[in-house]
A = this chain, B = another copy of it.
Amino acid sequence: MRTLRRTPVSDDISRTRVEPFSDGVFAIVVTLLVFDIKSPNLGDPQSASHLAYGLAELAPTFVSWVISFTTVCVIWLNHCRLFDLIVRVDNTLFWLNANLLLWTSFLPFPTALMGDYSDNPLAVAFFGSAMLLASIAFILFRLHLQRHPELLREDVDLATFRAGTVSTSVLGPLAYVIGIGCAWVHEALSFAVYAGVVVYFVFPHAMRATRRESE
């Protein structure tokens, strides 16, 4: 799997280091999301009802956190499935992967922003935009693989891979564009759309569909 240096493909990067590096980034993002949830300040530190009220006020932060956590898991899962089809990582693919990691590692900021300003349409739209950029990063990644099938495993069927790219390019981005638009109608609507995307990807039938496409 590892190509020898001095051959024409010698600027390849070892897949055995790109995968753990990416896994590290995903694991850290997923774990650090909770650190933006801060203990509420209480008038009376010993009062259970004060704390209950303080925790209830954090509700949008908890919802943002669960959505982001699950979204990063979905990204990680898609990353896993894509890398499973790859035999070589060239320089461009490395940077397209770095681009995906950039937007994934950015998610804690829009998550915190949406948690802090859950009534602000721009904060909610901003969250959707960050998600949109992450899903576009995936499309660019797939397009490069399509144009360079020598990076893919020999048993990958290009026609079905291409079909997978088309459906990936339409479904995710479309949902996020709708979510961004909804923010200007009502913020809760966007929350529902973002949560819907995640639920769609977590449920097995959706997964099975994605698999059929990518094979």
Contacts and interface: CB of A to CB of B under 8 A. Distances in A.
Interface of A: 5-6, 10-11, 13-14, 17, 19-21, 23-35, 37, 39, 42, 45-48, 51-52, 55, 66, 69-70, 73, 76-77, 80-81, 84, 91-92, 94-95, 98, 101-102, 105-106, 108-109, 112-113, 116-117, 119-123, 126, 155, 202, 204, 207-208, 211, 215
A122 B51 contact: yes
Tell me the interface secondary structure of chain A in the complex. Answer: helix
A85 to B, nearest CB: 8
A38 to B, nearest CB: 8
Pairs A-B, 4 closest by C-beta atoms: A24-B27, A48-B122, A28-B31, A51-B122
B21 A117 contact: no
Nearest to A112: B39
27 contacts: A5-B215, A11-B208, A11-B211, A13-B77, A13-B80, A14-B80, A17-B19, A17-B80, A21-B26, A24-B24, A24-B27, A25-B27, A31-B32, A32-B35, A34-B105, A34-B106, A35-B35, A39-B109, A42-B117, A42-B120, A45-B117, A45-B120, A51-B117, A51-B123, A70-B102, A73-B95, A73-B98
Given A30-B25, A91-B204, A102-B69, A155 B5 contact: yes
Contact of A215 (B6, B17, B120, B208): B6
Nearest to A52: B122
A32 B39 contact: no
A34 B120 contact: no
Nearest to A50: B120
A23 B21 contact: yes
A71 to B, nearest CB: 11
